[in-house]
Amino acid sequence: MINFHKDHANLVNVAFVVFALLSTGIAVAPALTLTETNAPLPDMPVMTAQERRGLEVYVNEGCMGCHTQQVRNIEMDKTWGSRPSIPADYYYSKQRLNVWQQSPSVLGSERTGPDLTNVGVRQASSQWQYLHLYNPRLVVKGSIMPRYGWLFHEVDSADVKPGDVVLPIPADKLPDPGRKVVASAKAQDLVAYLLSLKQAPLPSGVQADAFLRTPGAGGEKVAAAAGEAPAVDGAAVFSQVCAACHQQDAKGLPGAFPALAGSSVVNQEDPTQMIDIVLGGYNARASEGYGPMPPQAEVLTDEQIVAVVNHVRSNFGNNAPPAKIETVKAERAEIAPQTMLP
């Protein structure tokens, strides 16, 4: 009979064996099981070195305290992703930090801020991301997100170096109009990471779970009873997709995002150019300091595009003839045929 009161060597040995068994059962065995039964989705890109550094900045700044990266299987989460999240979205076997460490968990549990699962698609403008980090109120007037000013430097205009990322802040919003705001290396890494957050497509033949619908309002119920799809609210699409850059009043942000109110493109008799810009993006005003507009062909359906185009063309002081969904379908076939439904 072992007397642990006197035989301290055996006490240490038994404690070590118990520790090893518990560690194997609680940590090692589950990790090996995950490795064998889970894998990243085939088209999930491997993170670049800059995106890895950005992930470290994201974790160090505690961003998951307010933001999640998980799309739940309910109707209200459609805003955040094209499908509900699955385990493979979070198991990066190709992207371990090292032999002993898996990538950190960034699922988050609070939605004080919007979910970031697909933010690289929803907010694909690097300029918007920089401005939002420097001062969220510049692009989202009602934002409660704190400023991350320590990720940026104010320098004299003469001290701006080639390769510096200069924020397109309107002069009246600068603390000192004679200076420029430059993104630090950490800010650039964080923005690279945020832009990399995109839901990977499912393998061919794999069907995504459908979002669980929640009961709609009266209008939706009437449409469902009549066997029709509810009409798309162009104002809601504009608020969710367009207003972050072009602003809720469609007046844009001078030097960063162009105004849609009074725009000659918006008010053209023929809506084709505007539809093409929405589908394929736009980068013809770089010389004026405006960043590229990301394409929305993979983000918006034909019904959503015609709804938001007509909303903009008939509001904010604009007065242009409505676009037709047939025009959107024809332009999609030319500009982004890969996004057409079979």
Query: pLDDT tens digits, residue range 171-229?
Result: 788 878 778 999 999 999 999 999 999 998 888 888 888 888 765 544 455 444 545 55
Q: Is 197 helix (H, G, I), strand (E, B) or coil?
A: coil
Cβ 292 vs Cβ 282: under 8 Å: yes
286 vs 307: CA distance, rounded Å:
28
Residue 157's pLDDT is what?
85
175's CB contacts (< 8 A; 6+ apart) are: 154
pLDDT, position 276:
94
On the 0-12 / 13-18 / 19+ scale of CB atoms within 10 A, 141 is: exposed
Which residues in the chain show pLDDT less than 70? 1, 35, 92-97, 214-230, 286-287, 289, 341-342
pLDDT at 31 (0 to 100): 76
| CA neighbor of 76 nearest in space, from 113, 115, 109 | 115
The pLDDT of residue 96 is 66
Q: What is the pTM of this model?
A: 0.79
Structure-token match 């805003």, residue found = 79
- Looking at residue 301, the DSSP 8-state letter turns out to be -
d(CA 202, CA 214): 25
Per-residue confidence (pLDDT) for residue 215, from 0 to 100:
53
- Which letter, b or e, does each residue of 57-72 get, where b requires 16 or more Cβ atoms within 10 Å of its Cβ? bbeebebbebbbbbbe
